Amino acid sequence: MEGSLSIFARFKMHLGLFLLILFDVLIVMSILYLSIFLRKSVLPEILPLKPFTGDMMTYYWIFPIWFFVFLFQGAYTRRLTYWDEIKFLWKSVFIVFLTIFTILFIGKQGARFSRGVILGMSVLSVLLLPTLRILSKRFIYSLGLMRRKVLIIGAGQAGTMALHALQREKNLGYEVAGFIDDDRAQEYIEGYKVHRGESRIERFIKKCCIHDVVIAKPEIKKERLVEMVNKIQHKASSILYIPELTGIAVLGTELRHFFDEQTMVIEIKNNLERKTNYLLKRSFDCLVSLFLFFITIIPIMIISLLIKLTSRGPAIYKQERMGKHLKPFYCYKFRTMYIDADERLKKLLETDPEARKEWERYHKLKKDPRITRIGSFLRTTSLDELPQIFNVLKGEMSLVGPRPVTREEIEQHYREAASLCFSVPPGITGLWQVSGRNNTTYEQRVSLDIWYVRNWNLWLDIVILLKTVVVVIKREGAC
């Protein structure tokens, strides 16, 4: 493949890699310096610690450990999406510090090095490393370095989807060069040229210095696909093939190879049916909910008082919702509506056709007459859902899961999908909240709930929780 790239293109790739390694060294040095500063100047003011006399050179041996772990894990060869990069970095940090503590334990050197510095460095790495490294990569990409040119074969719906995915995932550093498709009449797709001549792909790869090829033609016949892959496999660095697997679980799937038969199978797992995974999810819910309870108990008391002072009725109300296996339970929320909310809604729907259409489609209104002044703020910031922490601790809900809905909504919208969606407890937040919130139609919400249950893993819950924080801060689509 290197032969198809110009000397200048290879130089830019290697220069970008050098800068990434340099940035990694600077980031680790900064984290170590900050950890030493905290141990030397901040912690002694809070805790009764012995004076610290170490410096940066005392911990020089940490740098080769860090570098070799990154190298072994593929930090300089793999292209990862934003959230996969964060997962990869946290995993690498765990391996680095597990290695460090193992060396100190086996070598009986624990007394020579401050555990506070090393523990502080591990915490700071989890907090700072993902952001700093991702920003470093974005900066390198902005210089035109380390970018990989991608050719998309197929200018149909799958090809357009591939284009959008590559444009959205800026962390990958891909640059779409264009499309090749003999079966399409259009000359451009969103400003990208659609070329003819699939039989001349090899020459196109060499002429345009293409690194990777995406095959996005689900309708392609097997014989043609095999011929195409064999033709370009040794011309491009890698080939990404998009099969037609819409509606099938994709997270956690694994490829199994049968070498004697020269074939492979896709293993699709039912993660939430495994007791160990369910216990893991439940343990995660309890730990995070307890933490949230202790840091929000005072805000909960203040909000309750404000609700009581500004409108008649209880501060917290409960509504029947359908839980796991469609078992009903009472879902807690801060009251955000007037006590005569039903009458207010009925009057509006009878007099406003546009509001009635909006209600029938979304089951929500952007300008809802039922909502109190403080209720509008609570909903916008999602603080109205804080009492659901108690539902999570009781085991009736999860932090992340399908929407808690009424029996009527299940009969009207979920139908046969209800047994699948509610094979798990409903969640305070979910995939639909971070996928457009109120801008998402009800049918799309159901589809997102189905996708979540089929594709669940613990990392997906963590990503949704982190995305929820961002959505709440930005107030994207919140009502």
Q: Which domains does the chain have, with CATH numbers?
A: 2-142 (no CATH), 148-244 (3.40.50.720), 275-336+371-474 (no CATH)
pLDDT at 214 over 50: yes
Q: What is the pLDDT of residue 3?
A: 44
Mean pLDDT, rounded, for 381-395 = 92
pLDDT band at 439 (very low <50, low <70, confident <90, very high): low
Q: What is the pLDDT of residue 476?
A: 63
Q: Which helix (H) or strand (E) element contains residue 255? A: strand 254-258
pTM score > 0.95 for this model? Answer: no
pLDDT at 271 over 50: yes
The amino acid present at 206, given as its one-letter code, is K
Question: What tens digit of pLDDT does each residue of 444-454 get?
Answer: 888 888 888 88
Poorest-pLDDT segment among 294-308, 341-355, 423-437:
341-355
CB-based contacts of 231: which residues, under 8 Å, 6+ apart? 201, 202
Half-sphere exposure of residue 359: CA atoms within 13 angstroms, side-chain side: 13
The 3-state DSSP class for residue 265 equals strand
pLDDT at 4 over 60: no
Tell me how far apart the 2 most distant CA atoms of the chain are, in Å.
79
Place of tokens 């046969």: 416
Inter-residue contact 173 to 139 (CB < 8 Å):
no
Half-sphere exposure of residue 271: CA atoms within 13 angstroms, side-chain side: 20
Q: Which residue has the higher pLDDT, 117 or 476?
A: 117
Q: Which helix (H) or strand (E) element contains residue 332? A: strand 328-334
> What are φ and ψ of residue 331, in 5° steps?
-95, 130
Ranges of beta strands (E only) in 164-253 are 174-180, 188-189, 192-195, 212-215, 238-241
